[in-house]
Structure 1
Amino acid sequence: MSNTVKIVRFHKTGPAEVLQFDELALPEPGPGEVRLQVKALGLNRAEIMFRNGQYLETPVFPAKNGYEAAGIIEAVGLGVDSSWIGKTASTVPGTFKLNAHGVYGEVAVVPLHGIAEYPSTLSYEQGTSIWMQYLTAYGALIWLGQITKEDFVVVTAASSSVGIAAIEMVKVEGATSIAVTRTAAKKAELLKRGADHVIVTDEENLVARINEITSGKGARIVFDPIGGKILESLAEATASKGIIFEYGALAPEPTPYPLFTALSKFLTVRAYTLFEIPPDPVFPKAKQYIFDHLASGAFSPLIDKTFPFAEIVEAHRYMESNAQIGKIVVTL
């Protein structure tokens, strides 16, 4: 084993090119930590925002990055059972900070509570494409939204990995999904992945189509990572006493609060991130729900494109192009 490893860090905020490979001493896991030999990395929008200095956490330079990695546990710290060594596992976003435990690298040191095993039938690429998307969807739809078979659920940015996870989850729960995408290029794949309806906003009126699909009632649950002006339209298309989950801020413009629509319909506009889940007693239940549906084949992570580790900058650029349907993965 080499005494040094390559870790991706950035020394200033900015475009993908600020990411660089730093040759560092092989890190040892501290108390309660494990070291993962990384086989695959799953990219997320949060990491783009973090790199740009636009995230909930402010980078501390030189800054690490990356929430999701899959691989083999090769070392454990004080207080961690040595039986973990040799096991395959993936990291769970929301259980650690990017500055402290960012996983972009040949190895990643993370807290023991920040890893989880996944079904052995999954590849490393699939294993790194689980927790961000399915936990995020679970928290809104199952835990907080308490989805039922009678519900219509609007999923915006539907071609993202979280969007596709939400479509799969709505299907499993017997509800009706309404996937929203900007262009027709992704419509066929969204239908193939189980969406009951797809609205192409470049060609169709969002509010009119949702009202048509729901027979004028509107959707009880809206799952939106965009924010911005679309929130006003989404509120118009939400059912009386419905709930809108805002779990991101992808829009370039400010997000206006639809006050009069919310008042007239008794709406809940709920800020939400998966960071709520790990500290809550629901966390083990959420992980088991996801594991079971992965094992049964009801959930199947969709990999859009893979890049070698040496091309992680190109992988970031590709994510920023918004061309993907599903997960972008970097392999080692």
Structure 2
Amino acid sequence: MSKQIQFTQTGSPDVLHIVDVPVAAPKANEVQIQMQALGLNRAEMMYREGAYVIEPVFPATMGYEGAGVVTAIGDGVSEFKIGDKVSVIPSFMFTEYGTYGEVVNMPAHAVVKHPDNLTMEQAAASWMMFVTAYGGLIEFGKVQKGDFVVLGGATSSVGLAAIQIAKMKGATVIALSRSHAKGDVLLEKGADFVVATQEDDVSAKLWEITGGKGVNVVFDPVGGKEAAKIINAMAQDGKYIIYGALSHDDIAVPVFPILSKHLTVRGYELFEITTVPEKLAQAKKFVFDGLASGQLQPEIDKIFAFDDIADAHRYMESNAQIGKILVRL
């Protein structure tokens, strides 16, 4: 038996509860993991609320991220052995798998060995954010040395990961935040400039920072009406990549800058990387090497106990975090 976090109706964090469930032996191409740390994800909050891309099937569990130790392997799995320290990369639906349990079965393609220099908590905080940022900035954004890169939602775990990856490539990083309250923190985390979307003239600041050249790549989880202010300050052949909809409003897209500057505006999902074997293999290598060398370092904000999962979700809803929220088992 294993303790698992479930919910039987959508709603506030109070719908989450812990139950004992039997754990089956791993099927073919599955790995069984004794979880030691979980990383929380906004998709889980949306799923719990009934506002995600798929509807919950009750009793529902969830969880995209985590780290632990392999305790059993299914037929056809050759790259792992019992005792391996591994992490989970989001590449499945909550109706299929979930990490919110003491012992879970995961598809082998979603499991990766992590470098020995990481603690379990650091490993649980790494893969989703770095693979997401890798896909947006490297695979699709093609960030180059000398580029000006704008990062929306920069204090999130993905935003902080994106700062590190963009700096690795030699880009100038412009972090966006709603106010300047977190500006010093973002500069400490590696951003070159901070623009406050509710306090600054965003277009004017971007033109000023880039010396009139404009922004080359935008990696944004917010979107909404404010997007036009960024797009108006983009460079020739610039790329605007949106990977979320935190504003809940339709993205505002001014047509003339797109036509005259040949801009690309595209949506991006992590699954574009994690469900394509070749791209996932490249992402795993990029992130593993970066973590092993210390060039990439996970940012952990706060760690909760497994029994306090509702409090962890409430904290995620507060938007007070800078970095990854974790649950320790």
Q: TM-score, normalised by structure 2?
A: 0.96
Code of the residue aligned with 2:63 in structure 1: it is G
My pick for the range that moved more, 46-55 or 316-325, is 46-55
Alignment correspondent of 2:51 = 54
Alignment correspondent of 1:133 = 129
Summarize deviations over 1:271-296 as a string: whole Å, max 9, x none.
10110112152221211111111111
1:232 Cα deviation (Å)?
1.3
1:82 Cα deviation (Å)?
9.1
Aligned residues: 328
Three-state SS of the structure 1 residue aligned to 2:292 is: helix
Summarize deviations over 1:226-271 as a string: whole Å, max 9, x none.
1111211121122122110010111132333333332233211111
Identity fraction in percent = 48
User: How far apart, in 2, do the equivalents of 1:252 and 1:6 lie?
Assistant: 35
Q: Is contact 1:231–1:258 with CA below 8 Å preserved after alignment? A: no
Alignment correspondent of 2:77 = 80
Alignment correspondent of 1:145 = 141
Code of the residue aligned with 2:32 in structure 1: it is R
User: How far apart, in 2, do the equivalents of 1:210 and 1:252 lie?
Assistant: 24
1:331 Cα deviation (Å)?
0.3
Structure 2 CA distance for partners of 1:82 and 1:296, relative to 1, 3 Å = closer
Summarize deviations over 1:176-226 as a string: whole Å, max 9, x none.
100001122211111111111111223221111111000122111000001
Q: Is contact 2:151–2:162 with CA below 8 Å preserved after alignment? A: yes
Q: Is contact 1:293–1:299 with CA below 8 Å preserved after alignment? A: yes
Alignment correspondent of 2:171 = 175
Alignment correspondent of 1:97 = 93
Code of the residue aligned with 1:193 in structure 2: it is K
Q: Is contact 2:6–2:17 with CA below 8 Å preserved after alignment? A: yes
In the alignment, is residue 293 of structure 1 matched against residue 290 of structure 2?
A: yes
Q: TM-score, normalised by structure 1?
A: 0.95
Which of 256, 260, 266 is equivalent to 2:256?
260
Three-state SS of the structure 1 residue aligned to 2:286 is: helix
User: How far apart, in 1, do the equivalents of 2:247 and 2:139 lie?
Assistant: 26
Q: Is contact 1:64–1:100 with CA below 8 Å preserved after alignment? A: no
Alignment correspondent of 1:306 = 303
Three-state SS of the structure 2 residue aligned to 1:270 is: strand
Alignment correspondent of 1:6 = 3
- 4+ residue segments displaced more than 6 Å: none
Aligned CA-pair RMSD? 1.4
Alignment correspondent of 2:118 = 122
Summarize deviations over 1:49-103 as a string: whole Å, max 9, x none.
121222222222221111001000111122224961111001011x221111111
Code of the residue aligned with 2:173 in structure 1: it is S
Unaligned runs of 5+ in 2: none
